[in-house]
Amino acid sequence: GANWSTGWLIYVDADTDGSRGAGEELIRVGEHDGSPAIRQTAAIPISYQGTGFRSRGQPETVFDFCDDRGADYARRVTVNLVGRHTVCHGPKSPGEDKCAVDELPECGG
């Protein structure tokens, strides 16, 4: 599935259906205990073709990593079409880089 809040799988999707099926090689399991909370803008998997480009879904996927201490400690990670990521933090202050975000609504900010 595409719910990242409890962890993730890295596998070879031999039949390109977006789900791990019987016999498809499991490469790595990433477990997540729920802290910080992970919220994503869309419940989609991130998958790549042999060329290195995304094979399905939207061109970029956004994850918010929420912290119990509040939005000041939250981070937003954006993964683009070729797998590069950008890490932003909130809230934005005057003179801060354009990556900082004014609000992280998924984190209560």
Question: In this predicted model, what pLDDT tens digit does every residue of 49-64 receive, in sequence order?
Answer: 777 777 766 677 888 8
Tell me, yes or no, whether 1 lies in a domain: no
Q: Residue 100's pLDDT is what?
A: 56
Concatenated DSSP letters for 5-48? TTEEEEE--TT-SSS--TTPPEEEEEE--SSSEEEESS-----B
Other C-beta atoms lying within 10 Å of the C-beta of residue 32? 13
Residue 10 has pLDDT above 50, yes or no: yes
Tell me, yes or no, whether 13 lies in a domain: no
| Tokens read off for 21 | 């099926």
Residue 106 has pLDDT above 70, yes or no: no
Containing 75, the helix (H) or strand (E) segment is strand 75-79
Q: Residue 20's pLDDT is what?
A: 85
Tell me, yes or no, whether 87 lies in a domain: yes
Range of the domain at 98: 34-107
> How far is it, in rounded angstroms, from Cα 74 to Cα 37?
9
User: What does the pLDDT average to over 41-46?
Assistant: 66
Tell me, yes or no, whether 5 lies in a domain: no
pTM above threshold 0.85: no
Angle ∠(30,34,38) on CA atoms, nearest 5: 80
User: What does the pLDDT average to over 92-98?
Assistant: 58
Tell me, yes or no, whether 25 lies in a domain: no
Question: Mean pLDDT lowest for which of 32-36, 71-75, 77-81?
Answer: 32-36
